[in-house]
Structure 1
Amino acid sequence: MAAPSPHVPPDASRLQAPVARLLRPLVRLFVRCGITFPALTDLLRELYVNVAEYDFALPGKEQTDSRVSLLTGIHRKEVRRLRGAGAPVSAVPVAVSRTSRIIARWLAAPEFTDEQGRPRPLPRASETEPSFESLVASVTRDLRPRAVLDEWLDRGIAFVDEAERIVLSEAAFVPRGGGEQQLYYFGRNLHDHVAAAVTNILEERPRFLERAVHYDGLSPDLARRLEARAREIAMEALQQANREAHAACETDPGGAARWNFGLYVYVEEAPAPPRANPTP
């Protein structure tokens, strides 16, 4: 029996159109935020060298400047200058890690949620029932709950209702535009989504779930209604996944692996295609 032929990734020419579409919103962000083409070129040059050095090293052989140059098309002198920086580390900012852990527990732990699984409004402090102080203390003893609350109130993550209870707000799920938390998840979530899709392209059989439901040619009104309903479905799925993951972590011994479950909803009013000139 003949050996199965190895999986061959698509050639560069076939990737150009989808990559151009992928990069277009990023280029819009770069131009808006002042990342010029020369600055982006410098960043890409460093990334090309880094990826070639660490992701394409041959087993048992030392990676050389010549091979990195061959893989990337970057001159050996530039390769020599840029090598050795180390693989990039995706460190979680302390404030982001702290906030996400407390919110995740508020959304998942039975004592902090109601019968429908929604986060309960919490008193600031209480000796007889779950409170905001006990929520923070269940995650970290290194911070005063009052300091966390002041930060959250300032950022709009929580608010105080008429009964003087602390309520988790919509901003907990949609961080403030351009803030540290949003920029961190911008990099993390887009990386993981693209990494899942790239892995599925490079391997013979798709390894990760990466799917979307999409309809074109809709009226703006229907698109908005579908967007609103999709948000509801997505939040239900995210909260259910968070509850199950939180419960499973209670007995997990821990390790170096990580898991990400993400959803997105996007709507745009695409320009109408140009009409063909009538045939005389």
Structure 2
Amino acid sequence: MDAPNLPPPSPERLQSPIARLLRPLVRLFIRSGMTFPGVVDLLRELYVNVAEYDFALPDKEQTDSRVSLLTGIHRKEVRRLRGAGAPISTTPASVSRTSAIIARWLAAPEFTDAGGRPRPLARLSDQGAAPSFETLVASVTRDVRPRAVLDEWLDRKIVAIDADGCVVLAEGAFVPQRGADEQLYYLGRNLHDHVAAAVANVLEGPRFFERAVHYDGLSESLAETLEKSSRDIAAGALQEANRQAHKACETDPGGDHRWIMGIYVYREENPAAASQPEPVETTKTNTTKPPGKTPS
């Protein structure tokens, strides 16, 4: 069903959900020493950049006056900031390489066992056991030596060496180290894509799958149990999606599109929820509300 031609939500209606969205980011800013004036400067530049490129009229030159009208920023500031470009989080080479190798280790039949789990790999291809870590790395990139990748991954505890001398993918391979460049990169990428999907659903109708199951008023033990079980469910879903995507890419001619599937799990202590439950939010799109508890 096509979405009705409704206007975007008013600024007044956006204030409450945006405040909730920004609160954890503000906590990160303060803990990291990112001051309010610094955030304002960044936001001002982003406003000008988005207005300049995303709101340009077809076959018309985007003027300083129109950007100023759209953003509320003075024309003098608009003129200074236009064309400067907003900071973009490019993919670090090490992140791209690591992700590609791990994705292949988890998906390619020659590197997984009958249950779809990543196999322990011999270090070198001439050790008599196939496949090997050397052939895995070489199948993804020739720009770096497999031994260099192995040393780096051992240091970062992405892999370990088992009793048979084979390279084993560690559970920590899926979780970047706290505060590492890889973690900060995915902070920007994953949150951007989640927010972009939700915003598209608000502005254009339910284009993207963006749902959550949520219960309030739980005991700590049940919340911990549900967190653990949902982690297992999420990991299985992501590995299956990775296998399907990896197989499909083998025959895909390639192009200029990208796809991402993300899952998040979160829990916190919320003592006010039982006595003062929040009203049901009616502006959310594509949200699964389970029976049995008042949705948050």
Question: Does residue 61 of structure 1 match 2:60?
Answer: yes
From the superposition, tell whether residues 88 and 55 of structure 1 become closer, same or farther in structure 2 (CA, over 3 Å).
farther
How far apart in 1 are the matches of 2:255 and 2:84?
A: 26
How far apart in 2 are the matches of 1:5 and 1:117?
A: 44
In structure 1, the partner of 2:199 is 198
Shift of 1:86: 3.6
Secondary structure at 2:261 match in 1: coil
Equivalent residues of 1:197, 1:210 under 8 A apart:
yes
In structure 2, the partner of 1:146 is 147
From the superposition, tell whether residues 83 and 165 of structure 1 become closer, same or farther in structure 2 (CA, over 3 Å).
same
Secondary structure at 2:150 match in 1: helix
Percentage identity across aligned positions?
A: 72
Shift of 1:274: 9.2
Q: Which amino acid aligns with 2:258?
A: R
How far apart in 2 are the matches of 1:68 and 1:171?
A: 46
Q: Which amino acid aligns with 1:156?
A: K
Q: Which amino acid aligns with 1:21?
A: R
Q: Which amino acid aligns with 1:66?
A: S
Equivalent residues of 1:54, 1:87 under 8 A apart:
no
Shift of 1:101: 0.4
Alignment map for 1:1-280 (pairs within 5 Å): 6-86=5-85, 89-127=88-126, 128=128, 129-203=130-204, 205-272=205-272
| Unaligned 5+ runs, structure 2 | 277-296
Name the stretch that deviates more: 160-169 or 84-93: 84-93
Name the stretch that deviates more: 218-227 or 136-145: 136-145
Shift of 1:169: 0.8
Secondary structure at 1:123 match in 2: coil
Equivalent residues of 2:231, 2:265 under 8 A apart:
yes
Secondary structure at 1:143 match in 2: coil
Shift of 1:221: 0.1
Deviations 1:55-113 (A, max 9, x none): 00011100000000001000000000000124654421101000000000000000000
How far apart in 2 are the matches of 1:72 and 1:197?
A: 22
Secondary structure at 1:167 match in 2: strand
Secondary structure at 1:43 match in 2: helix
Equivalent residues of 1:199, 1:206 under 8 A apart:
yes
How far apart in 2 are the matches of 1:105 and 1:273?
A: 43
Secondary structure at 2:212 match in 1: coil
How far apart in 1 are the matches of 2:88 and 2:185?
A: 13
How far apart in 2 are the matches of 1:44 and 1:210?
A: 26
How far apart in 1 are the matches of 2:144 and 2:223?
A: 44
How far apart in 2 are the matches of 1:273 and 1:130?
A: 53
How far apart in 1 are the matches of 2:45 and 2:143?
A: 38
From the superposition, tell whether residues 41 and 88 of structure 1 become closer, same or farther in structure 2 (CA, over 3 Å).
closer
How far apart in 2 are the matches of 1:179 and 1:87?
A: 22
Shift of 1:126: 3.1
Shift of 1:271: 2.7
From the superposition, tell whether residues 124 and 274 of structure 1 become closer, same or farther in structure 2 (CA, over 3 Å).
closer
Deviations 1:136-174 (A, max 9, x none): 011011111100000001111111111111111112111
From the superposition, tell whether residues 274 and 170 of structure 1 become closer, same or farther in structure 2 (CA, over 3 Å).
closer
Secondary structure at 1:253 match in 2: coil
How far apart in 2 are the matches of 1:275 and 1:140?
A: 56
Name the stretch that deviates more: 179-188 or 265-274: 265-274
Name the stretch that deviates more: 44-53 or 160-169: 160-169
Secondary structure at 1:122 match in 2: coil
Q: Which amino acid aligns with 2:175?
A: V
Say how many residue pairs are matched: 272
How far apart in 2 are the matches of 1:40 and 1:272?
A: 31
What is the RMSD of the two structures over their aligned residues, measured on CA atoms? Answer: 1.6
